[in-house]
Each structure stands twice: as structure tokens, then as C-alpha cells.
């Protein structure tokens, strides 16, 4: 198991968890002093020893916790779940946190490991679970000053922190006041405290191990109470992570004595969370319920098929249909007639063979089956088709993406066809070097012109009229007939004259020969 | 959309190419045919894969008759791939404006099925942001179960473990359908399906009900501490079950408060000779180890020839925890 007082995490094999009683820091939190003295001996006149003192303080969390020091809590915060019989716990990333401070601040500070003072030192913090019907006994958490913590007023018992705090300190601290009777009934006994904290060292070997993903040493504080269940509805449990420092005399003792002796006890609140257990409609354990499936009145375990209510052995069709998972349903035909039809969902009690010899189906009626021997329809696949279509239509994003994908693909295909059937042979023919102007098609030799002629002759019917025609340069109409075109002599006149070209153009267009 | 809407006279040619593309799956290797390779866009593929795992399919179409799935029942099934293919057919049938679109579907439906089969296997790991499994076979038999029980409501993190020949099968889908009904789909035909109580990580607690005849409120299965021949972390067998320590709640006022000191004493008393180690005393770590709570595990065997209730009751394996301590 573990040595009684380990002071540092040991090495743990991959996939293993080591449980430790405690991980004690070399020095617990508190004020310390180094004292040095140097004496000189064997001198004629005695010399007063030189002395020096250096006070120092070991700091540790006391009135608040850094939230990052909490690794996880269980049951998880704000969760609903069947947590009956679960002992709640908090996992701290600071592996020595529960033992970093003495429960009794007046007991003096540890000299270091191995001083033999305590074999199992009690942790200074603990978890209290408050049931929903006990919240009357707990005040809402509020922030006070340390001064108000140690002198809270009549009827409220403060922690006995002695001279380890400045009684006038204005440092803020979160507290709850718990009814003394309630505290006595739910708080652990002093000698139970050590059993409510331990440390563990985890080597997950890179895999999530029992919900733990992080390696290293952690400390844990567990509660001493299990959640309740109520028939009336869900029960919200409040978990309080409190400091017992200075409360060692106020913890309950067996036999009902002990307690603080006031009306309320003031506790430093280091954290809190809630979780919920459902109403007791769920009775019994997981195993009990899963084993009860086969009890009379329950559905049992089996394949997904209709129970045979009557004897159908005289009807081979019905018997087989029921065996392979079909359900007879009433169907309203389009002409108003009602008929019985077979239906089977995607979940069948017997394996089916995938049939791809026929497909795809283009409409739901396409997938309708009709058995002329019995006059019965089988609507299964027609239903599936229709559901697939309706779901696709109901998702506009999918519908658009599918449509665009298909359109883009068909466009690309059209381009490929254009390239393959027309552009490529054309380019090949036209760019062939002049020395090799022979068309390499069987039976065709000759000049470029004959090659072109051959090419066009080989075009699929209907392609030729689509080829855009460009008239030869010689047949292009002359620019002289264009009204906006200026004769060259007038252009040069304009270039020399420096008139506004727009005026020139206007004059030209309005001139009689252009009317 | 002005640009090259395919001209009618090339339809025959396009159909010919589409059918050629269908013959050679472009993802299986380079092809030198004329048709461009078919690549389903990722969102479309994922949508179709979800559809093929029955996402969105109304419950009434899965279970058309209430007698198929009575209260407190577990029903196993095979998935009919033809039915799933018809779902895909219906989905890709939308927006078919012309014969060409129909020809397209006709040319590529098998390829689309094949891609969906592959995506279907990876869907769950994608949703869970886990590494995709390496599918050994794609498009094989899919099976599953419907579980209607208060267990589904009460144990939301219920784990399911389908096993075939000792090897776990991939779970393609595991989702509650409404209140108290759980749907699971597996890739392959399991011979054993285990329902495992959610372990929620390593946690502590007690077990109920207490053994008959004891006056306690709960019990704890005791584990070895690594001494006296009892391996650390393993429950100590005792007859048919495990060695138990019975504990009670503290009296007086509050409910549910564990009588820790009595429990410590009882565990110390019940543990066999030598199991506590040389000190002979239970330490906080030893106590914590006793309080570690294992998960319940219910096994249902043999999907193929599942006996109806009564003939052979399902085997039960009580949960054992896997923690080890040294």
C-alpha cells in the first residue's frame, strides 16, 4: 500500500493508481523563525554568542481557494443523476492541500517530515452535504471580514484561530453559519476526519483511465454522507467545502455530545456546488432493473418483432411475415378504398441481403411492392423513400448543396464533352506543324484544307451549325458606311485645330450627308 | 444561370459518360476516362450518413406498433440496408428537374451508397471528435437495439459494449430517442452486448440493499490491499460473491450520514488475516480503496439465437473495478 508518511509522489506504473494516506508538506502553513547562534570557545574572556533571528512565513490557502487548484468534483456540479449511495468528493491539483495546515492552529507547527507527531494528521478541510430540506439550517454564503469571522456576535461560534490571525484584519472571507444541531448531525467526528481525505498518484499512460485524463499526484477530500431520494420530486443537494481549522473542539463526538455550544457555528466556506438526484420513480439498482426485464409484466429481451397474439400457423404468409418483422397496417388508397398493407421499418428481426440489382428509385410509388397472390401491398420501401425525400426537403441547406453539387458536376461534364469531342481534335489539327500536315486518321492524307474538311465532315450531326462563323477579313464591311467614323482628313484637321472633339463629332453627325 | 446548360443533343453522350464513370469508381484509383471524378461534398456526405443511421426518421417508422417495444424491454434488430438505400434514394431525388438529373442519379447511386457506407462508419467518431476507426469492412451488416426502460432515464451515461469473439464492435450510433428509449446501432453482429452502469470515473460510495438478515443500511465489497496474498484493488472473493463489510448510518437526526468510524472498525474486523499489512490497521488510503465503487454490468448474449425470456435468463456479471494499487 503506502508508507505511513510519504512526502513526495512516488513513481507509478502506467495505467495504475496509487492511493496514499496523505502527502505532507515539509512545513505546514504558518509563521516560523530561523534562529542562528554562534559561540566562541577557548578564549580567555567569555564572549556573548552572536545571535540572529529571521522570521518567515509559509503561506498556504486559508480563507479562500484558488479555483484552479480544484481539479474536479463529483457528483459533477449542476448535474442530474442517480447518485444515491455515492460519497461526494473533490479532487485537488495541489497534492498536499488537505494537510498543508494544522487543524488546531495552536498545536504548534510540524518540524518537518518524520517528526512522529501524528501518524495520520487530520485534514483541515472537509465536505458537508446539505439535503434540500435542511437548508433552513444554513445561511446563504456571504463575505465578511476576518474580524467578523473571529468575533461574529452572540450565539455564533467562531473558529478558534488563536493568535494566528490579526483579530482586526479586514481581509475578506466567505462564510456560512450552520445551525449547531444540524452541524452536529452531519459533520464528521474528529477521529473520522483522516479517513475523509487521501491522495492518489495516477499514471494514465496517455489514455483516459476511469475518467481521469491528467497524470500526477492529486489530493482528495470525500464527504461523509450519501444523497437522498424523494418521492416528491428531484432533490437538489448543496455541497459545502468548508475549513475545519480551529473547529477541532466543535466537531461532534459519538453519543451526541460535543458541538460548539452556541446556536450556530461559523464556517469558512472555500467552495460550494449543487447537484440533483431524480425522484424515486427509479427504484432499485442498475443491476436489479436490468435483470428485471424478464419479470412478468415487463417486456423482456428479444428480437424486434410482433408477438403472435393468435395462432397463425394455418396461414403461411402471415406466419412468415410476422417472423421477419412485418406489421399489418391499414392503408388508405388514393381512390378512398381502405386496404391492409404490410410495413416493416429499417429494424428487422432477421438479416436481409442488400439488393442492388435494381435502383435507384425515382418515386415512392416506384418502390411500392404488390403481391398479386395475396392482393397485399408492401409499403416499407415506399415509406423509406418518402421519409428520405421529406427530410432532404426539410433541410434547405442540404437541398441546396445537393442541387449545386449535381449542377456543377453536370456543367463540368458538359465542358469535358466539349473538350473531348470538339476542341481537342480541332486544336490538334490546326496546330500541327506545316511539315507534317497529314491527318493521322486512317485513309485521309492531304493538305491542311483537306484535313479541315475531313474534320468537319467527321463532326457529329448537329454540331456544325453550332460553330460560330467569322467572315473572312476581305468580306468585312468597309468603315466608310459607318456614320460615326470620321474621314482621315477631318481627323487630322481636328488634331491640328484643337477644337473640342465632342463638338466635332456632333457637327459630323448632324451634317446633311449623315441625315 | 446562363452558362453551359447541356444541350439536348449531347444528353445521350452524357448518359454514356455517366454510366462509364459509374463503372469505374474514381476514388479507387486513377482512371483515364472522360468523366470528371465524382466527389460528394463533405456536408452532403455527412448529412446522408446521418440519414443512413436513421437520424431524423420518425420513431413511428422505426417501431410501427407499440407491441414491438413494450415497457421494460430490450429488442435487438438487424438494419435492413435496402430500407436505408431507399432513404438515400428519396433524399437524392429532390431537385431532379430534368431527365438528365435522373440519369445522374441512375449513374451514381451505387457510388453514393458506397461513400455513405464509409462516412457512416466514421460519423460517430467525428461527432465525438475522436480519431476515426480504421474500418476493416465497409457496408457490412449493421445491427442494433432499442432499449425501453427506466434505466435509460435513471442512468443517462449508460455505456453499451457490443462484443464479437471477444473483440468490441464499433458503435455507430447511441442516442436516447425521447423519454426512456435508447437506440444503439453497431457495425457488425455482436454475440454479446453488455450494458454497463456509467462509471463516471473513479468515485466512492456504498452498495445497497444490505444483505438479508443484517441490521446495517448498506455494504461495501472489500478489496485487497496488496498484503496477505490479496492483490491490491481486487475484490476478495468469498463463496459465490465477494467479501463484504456491512455498515450503517449514524443515528440521531440526520439521514444518510455514514458512520465512518464504525465502518472502519467493521472493515478492519472483516478483512482476512494479514490483509491489512504489517501495521494491522486500516489507513485512510486503505479505507478509500474499500469505498471505491465499481460499475454494474449486465450482459446479454447471442444476438443470433437469443432465447426468449424464461428459457435462459441473461447472464449476469457483477462489476469489478479495474483500479490497481501497488
Q: Which of A195-199, A205-209, B103-107 has the lowest mean pLDDT?
A: A205-209
pLDDT confidence of residue B214:
82
| Inter-residue contact B66 to A439 (CB < 8 Å) | no
pLDDT for B269-295, tens place per residue? 998 888 888 878 888 888 998 888 766
- Kindly indicate the confidence band of residue A98, based on its pLDDT and cuts at 50, 70 and 90: very high
Q: Which of B260, B263, B306 is the best residue to mutate to test the A interface, defined by the most A CB atoms within 10 Å of its own CB? A: B260
Provide the β-strand partners of residue B224. B232
A87 closest CB neighbour out of B77, B94, B204: B204
Provide the β-strand partners of residue B249. B258
**Contact flag A22-B284 (C-beta cutoff 8 Å):** yes
Instruction: Give the separation between CA B278 and CA B244, rounded to whole angstroms.
Output: 22
The answer to whether residue A4 scores a pLDDT higher than 60 is: no
A89 closest CB neighbour out of B44, B110, B203: B203
pLDDT for A340-354, tens place per residue? 899 999 999 888 888
Q: Which residue does chain A place closest to B227, by CA atoms?
A: A1
**Contact flag A347-B144 (C-beta cutoff 8 Å):** yes
Higher pLDDT, B90 or B21: B90
pLDDT (average), residues B28-40 = 56
pLDDT for A36-72, tens place per residue? 999 888 888 888 889 999 999 888 899 999 888 888 8
pLDDT confidence of residue B325:
27
Q: Report the percentage of chain A scoring pLDDT > 90.
A: 26
pLDDT (average), residues A466-484 = 65
Instruction: Give the separation between CA A74 and CA B200, rounded to whole angstroms.
Output: 9
pLDDT confidence of residue A490:
73
Mean predicted lDDT score pLDDT of chain B = 77
Q: Where are the beta strands (DSSP E) in A11-150?
A: 16-20, 30-38, 50-58, 70-74, 86-87, 89-92, 125-130, 142-145
Higher pLDDT, A279 or A374: A374
Q: Does A336 touch chain B (CB under 8 A)?
A: no
Higher pLDDT, A5 or A303: A303
The answer to whether residue B311 scores a pLDDT higher than 60 is: no
Higher pLDDT, A97 or A465: A97
pLDDT confidence of residue A465:
72
The answer to whether residue A382 scores a pLDDT higher than 90 is: yes
pLDDT for B213-234, tens place per residue? 888 888 888 888 888 888 887 8
**Contact flag A395-B47 (C-beta cutoff 8 Å):** yes
- Kindly indicate the confidence band of residue A231, based on its pLDDT and cuts at 50, 70 and 90: confident
Cis preceding-peptide flag for A75 (omega within 30 of 0): yes
- Kindly indicate the confidence band of residue B136, based on its pLDDT and cuts at 50, 70 and 90: low
Chain B residues with CB-CB distance to A403 below 8 A: 94-95
Q: Which of B256, B289, B319 is the best residue to mutate to test the A interface, defined by the most A CB atoms within 10 Å of its own CB? A: B256
pLDDT confidence of residue B3:
38
**Contact flag B202-A210 (C-beta cutoff 8 Å):** yes
The answer to whether residue B25 scores a pLDDT higher than 60 is: no
Nearest Cα residue to B297 out of B168, B155, B204, B194: B194
| Inter-residue contact A390 to B57 (CB < 8 Å) | no
pLDDT confidence of residue A389:
95
Q: How far is A68 from chain B (nearest CA, A)?
A: 20
Instruction: Give the separation between CA B2 and CA B5, rounded to whole angstroms.
Output: 7
Instruction: Give the separation between CA A220 and CA A204, rounded to whole angstroms.
Output: 17
Q: Does A423 touch chain B (CB under 8 A)?
A: no
pLDDT for B146-179, tens place per residue? 999 888 877 777 788 888 888 888 888 888 887 7
ipTM of the shown complex: 0.71
pLDDT confidence of residue A304:
85
B75 closest CB neighbour out of A222, A302, A355: A302
- Kindly indicate the confidence band of residue B306, based on its pLDDT and cuts at 50, 70 and 90: very low
Residues 6+ apart with CB under 8 A from A326: A306, A342, A343, A344, A378, A380
pLDDT for B41-72, tens place per residue? 999 999 999 999 999 999 999 999 888 999 88
Q: Which of A378-392, A456-470, B286-300 has the lowest mean pLDDT?
A: A456-470
Q: How far is A134 from chain B (nearest CA, A)?
A: 9
The answer to whether residue B140 scores a pLDDT higher than 70 is: yes
Instruction: Give the separation between CA A303 and CA B146, rounded to whole angstroms.
Output: 10
CA atoms within 13 A on the CB side of B256: 22
What SS3 state is found at B232? strand
pLDDT for A272-325, tens place per residue? 999 988 876 555 667 777 777 777 778 888 888 887 767 777 788 888 888 888
pLDDT confidence of residue A11:
60
pLDDT (average), residues A73-97 = 85
Report DSSP state, residue A9. -
Residues 6+ apart with CB under 8 A from B315: B299, B301
Q: How far is A164 from chain B (nearest CA, A)?
A: 29
Q: Which residue does chain A place closest to B154, by CA atoms?
A: A82
The 10 Å Cβ neighbour count of residue A180 is: 21
- Kindly indicate the confidence band of residue A477, based on its pLDDT and cuts at 50, 70 and 90: low
Instruction: Give the separation between CA B81 and CA B63, rounded to whole angstroms.
Output: 17
pLDDT for A103-125, tens place per residue? 888 776 554 444 444 566 889 99
Residues 6+ apart with CB under 8 A from B157: A81, B198, B200
The answer to whether residue B7 scores a pLDDT higher than 50 is: no
**Contact flag A131-B80 (C-beta cutoff 8 Å):** no
The answer to whether residue A176 scores a pLDDT higher than 90 is: yes
The answer to whether residue B203 scores a pLDDT higher than 90 is: no
Amino acid at each position: 500500500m503506502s508508507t505511513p508518511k510519504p512526502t513526495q509522489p512516488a513513481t507509478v506504473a502506467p495505467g495504475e493508481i496509487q492511493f496514499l494516506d496523505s502527502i505532507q508538506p515539509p512545513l505546514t502553513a504558518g509563521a516560523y523563525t530561523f534562529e542562528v547562534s554562534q559561540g566562541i570557545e577557548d578564549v580567555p574572556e567569555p564572549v556573548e554568542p552572536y545571535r540572529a533571528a529571521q522570521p518567515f512565513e509559509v503561506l498556504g490557502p486559508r480563507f479562500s481557494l484558488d479555483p484552479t487548484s480544484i481539479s474536479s468534483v463529483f457528483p459533477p456540479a449542476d448535474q442530474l443523476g442517480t447518485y444515491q449511495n455515492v460519497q461526494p468528493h473533490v479532487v485537488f491539483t495541489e497534492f498536499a492541500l488537505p494537510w498543508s495546515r494544522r487543524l488546531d492552529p495552536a498545536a504548534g507547527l510540524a518540524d518537518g517530515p518524520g517528526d512522529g507527531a501524528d501518524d495520520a494528521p487530520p485534514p483541515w478541510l472537509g465536505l458537508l452535504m446539505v439535503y434540500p430540506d435542511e437548508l433552513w439550517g444554513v445561511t446563504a454564503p456571504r463575505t465578511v471580514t476576518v474580524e467578523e469571522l473571529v468575533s461574529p456576535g452572540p450565539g455564533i461560534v467562531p473558529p478558534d484561530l488563536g493568535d494566528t490571525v490579526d483579530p482586526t484584519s479586514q481581509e475578506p472571507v466567505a462564510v456560512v453559519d450552520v445551525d449547531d444541531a444540524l452541524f452536529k448531525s452531519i459533520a464528521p467526528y474528529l477521529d473520522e476526519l483522516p479517513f475523509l481525505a487521501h491522495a492518489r498518484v495516477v499514471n494514465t499512460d496517455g489514455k483516459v483511465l476511469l475518467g481521469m485524463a491528467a497524470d500526477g499526484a492529486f489530493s482528495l477530500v470525500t464527504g461523509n454522507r450519501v444523497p437522498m431520494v424523494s418521492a416528491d420530486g428531484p432533490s437538489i443537494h448543496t455541497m459545502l467545502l468548508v475549513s475545519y481549522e480551529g473547529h477541532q473542539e466543535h466537531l461532534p463526538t459519538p453519543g451526541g455530545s460535543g458541538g460548539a455550544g452556541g446556536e450556530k457555528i461559523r464556517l469558512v466556506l472555500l467552495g460550494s456546488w449543487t447537484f440533483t438526484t431524480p425522484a424515486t420513480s427509479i427504484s432499485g439498482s442498475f443491476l436489479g432493473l436490468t435483470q428485471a426485464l424478464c419479470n412478468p409484466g415487463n417486456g423482456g429481451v428479444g428480437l424486434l418483432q410482433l408477438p403472435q397474439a393468435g395462432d397463425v400457423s394455418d396461414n403461411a404468409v402471415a406466419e412468415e411475415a410476422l417472423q421477419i418483422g412485418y406489421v399489418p397496417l391499414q392503408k388508405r388508397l388514393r381512390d378512398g378504398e381502405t386496404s391492409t398493407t404490410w410495413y416493416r421499418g429499417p429494424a428487422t428481426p432477421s438479416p436481409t441481403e442488400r439488393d442492388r440489382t435494381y435502383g435507384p428509385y425515382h418515386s415512392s410509388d416506384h418502390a411500392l411492392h404488390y403481391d398479386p397472390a395475396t392482393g397485399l401491398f408492401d409499403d416499407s420501401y415506399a415509406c423509406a423513400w418518402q421519409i428520405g425525400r421529406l427530410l432532404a426537403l426539410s433541410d434547405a441547406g442540404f437541398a441546396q448543396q445537393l442541387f449545386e453539387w449535381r449542377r456543377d458536376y453536370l456543367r463540368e461534364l458538359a465542358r469535358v464533352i466539349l473538350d473531348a469531342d470538339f476542341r481537342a481534335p480541332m486544336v490538334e489539327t490546326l496546330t500541327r506543324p506545316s511539315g507534317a500536315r497529314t491527318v493521322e486518321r486512317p485513309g485521309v492524307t492531304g493538305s491542311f484544307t483537306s484535313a479541315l474538311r475531313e474534320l468537319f465532315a467527321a463532326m457529329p450531326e448537329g454540331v456544325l451549325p453550332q460553330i460560330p462563323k467569322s467572315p473572312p477579313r476581305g468580306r468585312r464591311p468597309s468603315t466608310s458606311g459607318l456614320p460615326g467614323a470620321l474621314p482621315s482628313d477631318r481627323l487630322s484637321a481636328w488634331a491640328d485645330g484643337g477644337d473640342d472633339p465632342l463638338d466635332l463629332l456632333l457637327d459630323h453627325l448632324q451634317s446633311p450627308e449623315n441625315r | 444561370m446562363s452558362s453551359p446548360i447541356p444541350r439536348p443533343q449531347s444528353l445521350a453522350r452524357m448518359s454514356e459518360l455517366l454510366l462509364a464513370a459509374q463503372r469505374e469508381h474514381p476514388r479507387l484509383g486513377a482512371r483515364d476516362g472522360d468523366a470528371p471524378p465524382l466527389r460528394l461534398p463533405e456536408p452532403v456526405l455527412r448529412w446522408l450518413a446521418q440519414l443512413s443511421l436513421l437520424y431524423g426518421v420518425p420513431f413511428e417508422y422505426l417501431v410501427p406498433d407499440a407491441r414491438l417495444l413494450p415497457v421494460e424491454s430490450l429488442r435487438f434488430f438487424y438494419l435492413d440496408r435496402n430500407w436505408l438505400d431507399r432513404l438515400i434514394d428519396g433524399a437524392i431525388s429532390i431537385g431532379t428537374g430534368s431527365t438528365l438529373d435522373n440519369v445522374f442519379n441512375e449513374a451514381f447511386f451505387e457510388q453514393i451508397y458506397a461513400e455513405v457506407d464509409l462516412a457512416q462508419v466514421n460519423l460517430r467518431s467525428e461527432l465525438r471528435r475522436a480519431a476515426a476507426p480504421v474500418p476493416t469492412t465497409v457496408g457490412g451488416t449493421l445491427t442494433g437495439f432499442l432499449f425501453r426502460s427506466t434505466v435509460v432515464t435513471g442512468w443517462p451515461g449508460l455505456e453499451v459494449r457490443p462484443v464479437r469473439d471477444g473483440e468490441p464492435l464499433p458503435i455507430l450510433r447511441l442516442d436516447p430517442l425521447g423519454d426512456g428509449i435508447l437506440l444503439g446501432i453497431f457495425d457488425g453482429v455482436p454475440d454479446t452486448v453488455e450494458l454497463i452502469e456509467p462509471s463516471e470515473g473513479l468515485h466512492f460510495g456504498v452498495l445497497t440493499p444490505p444483505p438479508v438478515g443484517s441490521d446495517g443500511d448498506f455494504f461495501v465489497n472489500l478489496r485487497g490491499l496488496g498484503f496477505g496474498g490479496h492483490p491490491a484493488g481486487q475484490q476478495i472473493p468469498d463463496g459465490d460473491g465477494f467479501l463484504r463489510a456491512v455498515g450503517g448510518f449514524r443515528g440521531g437526526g440526520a439521514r444518510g450520514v455514514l458512520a465512518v468510524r464504525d465502518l472502519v472498525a467493521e472493515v478492519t474486523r472483516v478483512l482476512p488475516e494479514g490483509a491489512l499489512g504489517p501495521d494491522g490497521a486500516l489507513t485512510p488510503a486503505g479505507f478509500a480503496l474499500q469505498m471505491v465503487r465499481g460499475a454494474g454490468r449486465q450482459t446479454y448474449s447471442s444476438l443470433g439465437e437469443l432465447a426468449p425470456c424464461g428459457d435462459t435468463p441473461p447472464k449476469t456479471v457483477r462489476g469489478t473495478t479495474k483500479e490497481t494499487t501497488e
